[in-house]
Structure 1
Amino acid sequence: MILTEYPDRDMLALDLSDRLASELGSALRHKERVTFAVPGGTSPGPIFDALTAVRLDWDRVDVVLTDERWVPESAERSNTRLVRERLLQGHAAAATLLPLVADTPTPEEALEGLSEGLLPHLPIDVLVLGMGADMHTASLFPGADRLEAALAADAPALMAMRAPGAPEPRITLTAPVLRGAISIHVVITGAEKRAALERAAGMTPAEAPVATVLDEAVVHWAE
């Protein structure tokens, strides 16, 4: 793990967006299409805002969420909605969003179709993850119903997940897909998450799911 500290969250967003743009640009020079995986939640919003102003061959970039809450796209808690409103704007509006949600009552009913759409775009070229204070990442939560299966080396690319404290079912990229990304970044802010990160570094992925990627990740932190 490489830990990069920033004086404030604005500087984190600006510097990380520059680095992500550089990595995407490098990948585009070597491949016809690249895959950019991003988290939901509110924290990545300023990073997305900065990326929308970057000139890239966005029409050759496929964007996929690391996980999604099983809610309609119109819902406030929809990660898909966040990405459309904050990342797929400006120059980045030309990128293609790979769906991670469907109009089915549960994620299990959509897994096969969503997986078929995702698999041709793996491995991920550039991956950005968040981390909760409980040390979850994507929708790999401590105590989740299928966490052990999602951490396994032979896990499918996508799995449905339910966890204590998560108010709706989720769909998530699994540990092998996250670990297989060419470039991995984890973004955290605040003292609570910094302390959680330090604990996670000495724990197993079953205890602290974010630990599954820490060995290969650059962690970006600001107070």
Structure 2
Amino acid sequence: MANPNPSSIHSFPLPAPPTFLDFLNLQSHYSSWQFETHNEWKKSMTFLFKLLTDSNIVPCQDIDIQTVRDCLFHIISRIESNCFGIWKPNGKEACMGRAVFPAASYFNHSCFPNCQSIKHDHKMAFRTLKDVSKGEMLTISYIDTNMPVSARRARLMDDYFFECMCERCISESGMVSNASQLKVSYTFKKYEHKKRTKKKSKNKNDSKKVVQDLLDGCEPTESNSAL
């Protein structure tokens, strides 16, 4: 349904409740971090280590700090690259926090999007901004698009690690003549993950295996995707 009224969101079919594995299926750009970014997050390592331990997401006891650090950085990168802002309901430009909606994270970016995210209570939905043809990709904007093409591309490269080649960017950058040779499509890389046991680890070896499985899931498979 196009352009829904927020009050009707409750009647929409909703995806299954997300799991931690759904979160791990999202893209991590940890391997592409600049030194400054990496160094800045290292300053928060003690706090993040305690947070991860208290949450029981990963059994950190008896695991070497470098392994835990890599695991943490992959988690941070997934949040940074896939989160949505939580804004005050009165519309003021004040972000109260950020949240990850795994299913919503698979919307690709365009600087001239045909969809827009809307929030209502604790739900997120999407509405179309214009007519959409059958088979046309549904897109949203990851950033404020009221900027010159160079600024938009720089922001997307810094935050999402890709150069935008949407039709608007191609046109505004003077690349219209080459547009027919470019595939304007962005898809997320697919990840392969081992099945993880739901049982709590009882010893050091079990803990190491859980963390190693998690890190294995952090490594992307071969893909031609931009994201």
**TM-score, scaled to structure 1:** 0.27
Structure number, greater radius of gyration: 2
**TM-score, scaled to structure 2:** 0.26
Structure that is richer in strand per residue: 1
